Structure 1
Amino acid sequence: MLDQVLVQRADQEAAQGHHAAALELYARAWDSRHDEVADKLLDLVEDWEDVEAALEILQKTADGGVAGAYEALAVLLLELDEPEEALAALDAAGRAGREVALWTAAVLADEMGDRERGEEWYRRAIATGDTEALNDFGVFLSEDPDRIEEAEEVLLLAVERGDLMALGNLGRMHLEGDEPERALPWLVRGLDAGVRSVLVPMAEAEQLLGRIEDARSHLNDALADGTEGARLAWANFCAEHGTREEQATAEAQYRRALAEEEPGAHFDFALYLADHERFDEAVVEYQAAAAEGETNAWLNLALIHEDRKDRRTAEECYRSGIEAGDLQALLAYAEFLRQWGRRADIADLLDQAAELGADEEETAELRRLAGSN
């Protein structure tokens, strides 16, 4: 249980600018990465601007017998984009008796891209009885298109064992699979069970099914709750399905989503601007989206520059999209090369296409464009 006395003492030290003392107290108060201490700790390090000193204090506190400090160290290392070092800190935490199997799985799978080892650790977490492990493992499985049925079985088992968050993830899984009719009943069950975070995906499913008034109502509820992603979802709703008055507010809603730093806001606002033929502004937003890791932004940038007859910039954007792992950018780039008589360059894309998961039909199309049998 979180030691609020230590947290209060740490807050006082932080307020007085005593960063080192505050950091050690936060590390000693550490209970879980899901509680308030993690945010307080990261805010403190950002304010202090002495990362090396912070790492040294956390390491020293952990080595001094405060096992939770290893987890605090892992949080900071992940923030610094040092997943291997974070994994070592979690290993030390585990050896000191902390339950970190599920977190280790997430670092391996999400931060290091090692899905095989990640799965091994998810299964370890399930075996230890971690109450969140089945749900998280189900989400992990759902990211593989070939394991959707397995993911559903795991998430259903999580529901049976009382993890209501799995209801929302079942709905999201089917929604991402372009099956809103299968998604909606799970999302409804989630909402009925009190899982308010399903309001945004529920509204998306309802829009796809033509239930516009239901979507409007649920998005308004999500906005009132302050649900993550609600502002951007509302902006998209206003732009696509809103009344005349709501459509007139769409741009302001996008800008609010940007101000609130909602994930995906740059990309969706760029789509809105492009739809309204405000291409100079759209380019700026696509560039911002690409900088945040939105791979599809490169393809849209390439298409804008191609329409503007700027072949050099268009080609740079296509290549950036391919480097970011976007198969659609590669396929569009192949068509671009065909138009300019560069069939030999298309042949050079075949190996990359295979690495990006091109299926037989897509590979055959690339071979056709390259002029090979």
Structure 2
Amino acid sequence: MAMTFDARGDVERAELWYQRAADAGHGPVMHDYGVFLAENGHRERAEEMYRRAAAAGQAPSMCNLGLLCEERGGHEEAGRWFHRALDTGYTRAAFYLGRAAHARDDVDGAIGWARIAADGGDPESMYTMARLLQSYADDSAEVQRWVTLAAQAGQPDAQEALRRLNERP
């Protein structure tokens, strides 16, 4: 019900139904409620809901907690949340670990984490892998492979890059 009201733009009713489901202990709904709160400008309440969802085992909420921590400059805590999510098998978390490694100029770490996320099927990570390899390695075949995989998975920037690559004489 909450998502239906949310899609209709009925924020009050959506919040009421999200809250009811969250109070009943539904982990995935707690995560969705956290997203809803964050999108509606309630960062502190969103963080509280993500913490509840993370405690219920929701890996996407662990990643969202990590992102909120990064926004506040809490990079160590963010890393712990990303690692915790990855430990559940949620490979998208490796994308964020790779992004953090790249920000620290740890190219090998960035490529390693991006590879884990890309191998896990994350289209954005596949394209990131291609860009990292293009910038830091001399392996055009591997770059082409990752761009193609990302494009096939629907990543728009990869689709455009593949189109440009195929236009070359």
Q: 3-state DSSP class of the match of 2:27? A: coil
- Greater mean alpha carbon deviation, residues 183-192 or residues 255-264: 255-264
Aligned counterpart in structure 1 of residue 78 of structure 2, from 168, 183, 195: 183
Q: Distance in 2 between matches of 1:202 and 1:263?
A: 22
Q: How does 1:305-344 map to 2 (within 5 A)?
A: none
Distance in 2 (alpha carbons) for counterparts of 1:118 and 1:222: 33
Quote the residue 2:100 is aligned against: 205
Give the match's secondary structure for 1:141: helix
Kindly indicate whether residue 1 of structure 2 is the aligned counterpart of residue 107 of structure 1: no
Distance 1:200 1:266 in 2: 19
1:257 aligns with 2:150: yes
User: What corresponds to 1:242 in structure 2?
Assistant: 136
Matched, 1:166 2:64: no
In structure 1, the residue matched to 2:17 is: 121
Deviation at 1:211, TM superposition (A): 2.4
Structure 1 segment 122-137 matched on structure 2, within 5 A: 122-137=18-33
Measure how far apart 1:248 and its partner are. Answer: 7.2
TM-score computed with the length of structure 1 as normaliser: 0.38
C-alpha distance in 1 between matches for 2:86 and 2:59: 10
> What CA distance in whole angstroms lies between the structure 1 residues aligned with 2:67 and 2:159?
22
Give me the whole-angstrom Cα distance separating, in 2, the residues matched to 1:209 and 1:139: 28
Q: Which residues of 2 match residues 151-162 of structure 1 at below 5 A? A: 151-162=46-57
Taking the aligned partners of 2:140 and 2:45, their CA distance within structure 1 comes to 41
**Any stretches of 5+ residues in structure 2 without a counterpart?**
none
CA apart distance, 1:122 = 0.8
Determine helix, strand or coil for the equivalent of 1:151: helix
- Taking only the aligned residue pairs, the percentage that are identical comes to 26
Q: Which amino acid aligns with 2:66?
A: G
Structure 1 residues 192 and 208: alpha-carbon distance in aligned structure 2, compared to 1, 3 A threshold: same
Amino acid of the structure 1 residue aligned with 2:116: D
Instruction: Name which structure has the greater RCO, CA cutoff 8 Å, separation 6+.
Output: 2
Q: Which amino acid aligns with 2:20?
A: R
For 1:130 and 1:256, locate their aligned partners in 2 and report how far apart those are by CA, in whole Å. Answer: 35
CA contact (8 A) 2:92 2:120 kept: no
8 A Cα contact 1:229 1:263, kept in partner: no
Q: Is structure 2 residue 124 aligned with structure 1 residue 229?
A: yes
* Structure 1: distance between partners of 2:49 and 2:157: 29
Counterpart Cα distance in 2 of 1:180 and 1:246: 35
Q: How does 1:48-59 map to 2 (within 5 A)?
A: none
The residue type paired with residue 32 of structure 2 is D
| 2:80 counterpart letter in structure 1 | P
What are the ranges of 5 or more consecutive residues in structure 1 without an aligned counterpart? 1-103, 282-373
Cα 1:192/1:256, change in 2 over 3 Å: closer
* Conservation of the 8 A alpha-carbon contact between 2:63 and 2:85: yes
Q: Per the alignment, in what secondary structure is the counterpart of residue 132 of structure 1?
A: helix
Distance 2:156 2:13 in 1: 28
Q: Which residue of 2 aligns with 1:218?
A: 113
Separation in structure 2 between the aligned mates of residue 112 and residue 236 of structure 1, nearest angstrom? 38
Q: In 2 relative to 1, CA 195–256 (structure 1 residues): closer, same or farther, beyond 3 Å?
A: closer
